[in-house]
A = this chain, B = another copy of it.
C-alpha cells in the first residue's frame, strides 16, 4: 500500500490521516487555533521554512481545512490570510487530544506548557470524552468497534 492510498481506504482514521498525516500539519493547526491568520503569524509561530510552510498551507486549503482570503492589496501583490473553516474547527477534539496526551507523556517536568480555560465556567479544565447517552467517561476497554458492511451496488 502506498501513502496516497490511505485516502481511499474504507476507514475514517486512515482518511483523516491522509489529509493530516504530515507532522507539520498539527503544528500549523495549533497556530490556527491560537489565532494565527497571516503567513507571518504562522511562520513566526512555527519556525517552519517559508517554502515548506507555503506548501503545507496550500495542502490545508486544498483539503478545505483552512480558507485563504485576501486581506490587503499591496502595489506588487495581494496578501492573504488563512482561517479555519468549519471542517477545520471540527478538528479541535483531535488537537485537544494531542495536547492532553503530550501534557501527560511529553516529559514536561515543570508541568504542562499550556492550559485551557473554559470561558463558559471560567475554570482551567481538562476536557474529557463522555457518552451522550449515559454521561459516563469513555474508557477504551468499555468501547466495542463495529465495522459496518458496505452496501453492495
Contact = CB atoms under 8 A, between A and B. Distances in A.
A42 to B, nearest CB: 13
Interface in A100-153: 100-108, 110-121, 123-136, 138, 140-148, 150-151
B33 A14 contact: no
Given A48-B1, A127-B129, A100 B105 contact: no
Interface residues of A, number: 86
Interface string A7-46: 0001111111111111100110010011000000000001
A6 interface: yes
A94 interface: yes
B120 A125 contact: no
26 contacts: A1-B48, A10-B108, A11-B27, A11-B113, A12-B99, A12-B102, A12-B112, A14-B30, A14-B102, A15-B107, A16-B98, A16-B105, A19-B105, A90-B101, A91-B97, A92-B129, A93-B96, A93-B100, A93-B129, A94-B94, A115-B148, A116-B144, A117-B145, A117-B146, A118-B136, A135-B135
